[in-house]
Every structure is written in C-alpha cells, then in structure tokens.
Structure 1
C-alpha cells in the first residue's frame, strides 16, 4: 500500500493541501476530555456535541469499518495586506475573507481522494469530512504527524503555524501510517491565553465557548451577554486574536494582489444594518455569513458600532432598531446608548 500512500500524497498536493499524514483508526484517547468539556458547560449552545457523544469514541462512528484516516491541512486564504483604514471598518476572521464557504471548497477535493482510493482498491469505502462529523480531528491530525494541539486548542505546525483548515478522509483500507507528533512546542508561552479579549480560556488547552468571540458571533443565536460585548471590539464575524499573537504564525504570509478575492474583509457594518432579507440572501447565501443569518449579522454589526462609539452610526442603528426581531432591537438600542454616552458623557 506504500504506492497508494504516495499517490494520495501527490493528489492532495495537486489539490492544494499543504500537509498530508496517515493515522490508524483507533479509539480516541481524548474522549474523556471531550466529556469533561461538555459537562463543564464549555460547549455552550452547541448541543450537537452531547447529542453525538458516543460517536466520538472511535472513527467507526463516522464510517463503519474504518481502518485508516488521512489527515489533511488546507491553507487559509493569502494575506491581502491591510485594508484601507476607515471609521466604519470591522474585522472578520481570516478564513472567511474569500467570501466562500470552506466546506464547499474542500469537500469536492476530498471526493477526488475518495475516488482514487476506491479506484485503486475496488469494493473499498472512503468518506471525506470537514469539521461537521463526530470525529476528534485534531487528535487524528496529531496521530498523523501534522502537529500538536496548542494552548489555544488549535493544531499547530512548526512550518505552517495554525492558519489552515483540517480535513480527513476515512477508509476501510489499511494504509501504512506516519509517526505521531509526540511533543508540544508551546513551552512556557501563554501569548494566546493572555491576549484573549473575553478570557475564554479557563486553563491552557481548554476553551470556554460561551466566552469565545468566534462562538458568540457565529454560532450563538441569542443576545450576547452584556459583560462580553466590549471584549468583542471590532470583531464582526469570528476572531483571530489567539492566532495572531502565536509565535508560530509570525512567518511572512503569502500576499495576494487580488483585492476582489477577499470581499468579506472589507464589509461595512452599516450596510448589514440596512440590508433587507432578500438582499442579504442574494449576497451571502454561499458565504460563511449565511451560517449566522441576517439576524445574527445585524446583532454583531450593532455591537461593533456600539464599541466604536461613532455618532455617524446613530442613523443606521435607529433605523435597524425598528426591526421586528427583539434581539436585533436590543443590540441596536444598546449600541445607541453606548454612542450617546460616549458623545455626551
């Protein structure tokens, strides 16, 4: 099977993956940590973890008869440089810059790898997954030699840092495996823990999602707790703070000259507040913003504008405050109060 491994690595590189490793399908050694994390309430509103908990025990929960897993890293989009500074600027997570749902980008590539396996080994099975299946992906990636789990819970790689997506292909074909990555290279560094604006890390390697800006601005469906709003700052969608301060991400980024490749990085929060449902659907249906929906993005936009404290935002906020949705109303009213207090202390 060494030849098949080589073919898979070659195809993965052609498809744009920047790291490939092979791991055995074994029972998860970190399952008890997942259980503790859920029981501590750190999963917040992500009930799907508890609902599928048993499936995380072994890769068989994703594909029956799995013997091998191919762990793959796909790069975040290139750095397009610093967007022009404007009073209305907001921040979105780096991975969303191209305005494409990464699942839609990566899944077709995984299907090509699956087809290669089935073509080479008739009657075999293969399934590709990208963070939506009950699989301990970072544990698998570590077993496959791709890196170690950092104190911010993300997989880190000496050459690649953490600016990449993890994906896996599971198969019932037994493939030669790579040596696991045994050591951590975080040392005494706590930059990621110290920099988190909302103190979302109760201890190294443990994330309290209920305090995480990425969770609050993407997954969370209700009002954002008052005590966490100032910490959100300018983050409209997601957050990169714990990655930005990581020493392993200090290598120069690839720079793109195509400004049109990153439309979401230049989004104006005022525009989100004045956009109707039909326009939002047309513009963002195939983008990461769609997961949060118009209601969530309006809520986020209001909080960003409230944190910025610019009186020029009052008109858009007052208009959006008439929305029938109570969560949007409340966020806009809060932002108005913050701005008024800032202008007339």
Structure 2
C-alpha cells in the first residue's frame, strides 16, 4: 500500500510542476486543531473588518472533509507571480504585482482542473474540488502543513527558496497519498522589517494582521469610503499593496515568473498619473478586462485614486 501512495504522490507532484506550479506539498485532510482558536480570536478582535464572509462556514474552514465528501488529502500548490517590471511613471498610483496580468483565479483554476483530470486519467476515478482563495479553505495553514513554508510576521507564507510572491491553491481529493512533513521552523528570527514598514500599522503584532487596517483591504475589500484617518498613509497604492513583501529579506530569492497570462498589458505599465486620474469607464474596461482589478469595479478604483489625490 505504502509504495503505491508514494508513487501516486510523486506522479502528482511531477505533473504539478509540468503545469507550471512552483511547488507542491501534500497533507492529510483532517481538522485544523491549532487554527481553530486562532481564527476565533482573529474574528473576535474584528480584524476582518467588513469581510463578513470570513465569519461564515467556520467549521468548513477548519475541516476539509466538510467541503469534499470522504476527503483524504489536501494537495497544496504555489504559483509564482513575481515580476521585475514596474509602472513607468513613479508618480502614478500603484497596483500590486499580483494584479498586473490576467485574473489569477482563472489562470490557476485551469491548471487545477488539468491536474485533477491527470489524476483521474493516470490513477483512476478520484473525487475532488479545486480551490483558489474563493472558498472557505485555510490555504496558508495547509501549505505550511504540507511543508511549503512558514508564516511570516506579515502572516504571508514564506518559502526559503523563493520568498513570498506566489499564489496558493488547493486540490482536496478523496484519495489517500503519501504525506509531507509540516514546516515547523520559523526563519523570521528577530527581523521586524515588515512590521516597521507597514504605513497603516496593520501588522498589530508579529504574525497578526488587522485586516481592516491593511491597504489591500482598504483598496479592494472595503466597499464604503476609505476612512479619512488613512489619508497620507496609503503610499500611493490604488489596488493592493506589496510593501510588507518588498521589504522582506527572503524576497531577494524571488525570481520572475514564466506565466505569460500574468504579463501586464503595455498600456497598464505606461499609465501616467494624469491618465489614471482622468480614466474613464471605457479605458478601465479595456485595460483591466480579465484582470483581478475588476474586483473593485470602476467606481472602486476611482474612489481609491480620488482618495490618494484629494487635498
């Protein structure tokens, strides 16, 4: 039995890399005991702000067997999105690197479906579901459990080999596999660069982010007006924020991705500050067609740009 599960795991990992994923780790689908009190406390402290969906499906978040019937394994995957390309106008409102190209949900879902099809073809009929941060799955916990890295003080998953500029995704399947050992070491040491650099002081304690203060939350998740208390603290970010990753010493190991779908349209990088301030709905639809930026809708992005440029 053992050699079979090992063989299956190796097959799956090799195919994941062939599909363009950066790393793949596998863990047993069980109840996330350590996460339960942590998640409860985070919600109790209101660190989720207006993201009320975080309160839903509490049990499902902690137990993958409630998401996939008879789930046995959680396959965790990372996909690189790091790029050295930048917006050309240093004064233009900024977009987080992860949103430069096509919406990652679409790109990753395709790869996950291909991986699931491969498993069905090579191993036999397997039931499972694909997850890309849009369902109640604790992806960082699973990635750490399957040996892909540790959670840094900015609460992002960090890999010793590649830093943290990657997406996380999962396949939860009803097939028993050989499991990886969890990543238990913490390589942040006494470093506090991310905490010191966060302009809104969203990292309220090492490993704890108050989501309601995070620039990514303010520019994407928050539907109401951005509180005036954040004026002059946004560091010119109009969609997302990369500060805590940009300052992380482990990201000196980040290398540019090879995913053509993530390449930015020339027009996006060429936007001048004035272009963005005067942007019309038509331009928004053209440049951000199929992009994660669509999440804010035109009105949301406009709100962010106006907030940055309000006197």
TM-score, with normalisation over the residues of structure 2?
0.91
How far apart are the structure 1 equivalents of 2:114 and 2:43? 35
SS at match of 1:166: strand
1:22-61 matched pairs, under 5 angstroms: 22-28=26-32, 29-61=34-66
SS of the equivalent of 2:25 reads: strand
Partner of 1:243: 245
Q: Which residue of 2 aligns with 1:221?
A: 223
Larger Rg: 1
- Residue 292 of structure 2 aligns with which residue? 288
Structure 1 position 32, deviation (Å): 1.5
Rounded Cα–Cα distance in structure 1 between residues aligned with 2:163 and 2:251? 5
Q: Does 1:91 align with 2:120?
A: no
Question: TM (normalized to structure 1)?
Answer: 0.82
Say if 1:67 and 1:172, in contact at 8 Å, map to a contact too.
yes
Give the secondary-structure state (helix, strand or coil) at the position aligned to 1:193. helix
Say if 1:68 and 1:171, in contact at 8 Å, map to a contact too. yes
1:81-130 deviations in Å (ceiling 9; x for gaps): x54345x42211111122x1001111110001111222234342021111
Whether the 8 Å CA contact 2:92–2:276 is kept in 1: the answer is no
Q: C-alpha displacement at 1:273, in angstroms? A: 4.1
Asked if the contact 2:49–2:211 (Cα under 8 Å) also holds between the matched residues in 1, the reply is yes
Equivalent positions of 1:124-163 (< 5 A) are: 124-163=126-165
1:63 aligned residue: 68
RMSD: 2.0
Greater Cα offset, 273-282 or 111-120 = 273-282
State how many pairs are aligned.
302
Structure 1 gap ranges (5+)? 307-334, 339-345
1:274 equivalent to 2:281? Answer: no
Greater relative CO (CA pairs within 8 A, separation 6+): 2
Shift of 1:275: 3.8
Q: SS of the counterpart of 2:204?
A: coil
Match of 1:170 in 2: 172
- Equivalent residue number for residue 316 of structure 1: none
Match of 2:195 in 1: 193
Q: Which residue of 2 aligns with 1:343?
A: none
Counterpart CA distance in 2 for 1:6 and 1:158 is 22
Q: Judging changes above 3 Å, is the alpha-carbon distance between structure 1 residues 95 and 15 closer, same or farther for their aligned structure 2 residues?
A: same
Deviation at 1:302, TM superposition (A): 1.3
Distance between the aligned counterparts of 1:83 and 1:212, measured in 2? 22
Q: Does 1:78 align with 2:78?
A: no
Please give the alpha-carbon distance, in whole angstroms, between the structure 2 residues aligned to 1:119 and 1:206.
42
Deviation string, structure 1 residues 129-179 (Cα, Å, up to 9, x no partner) = 111111111111111000001110000110111010011111000000011
Question: How far apart are residue 10 of structure 1 and its match?
Answer: 1.3
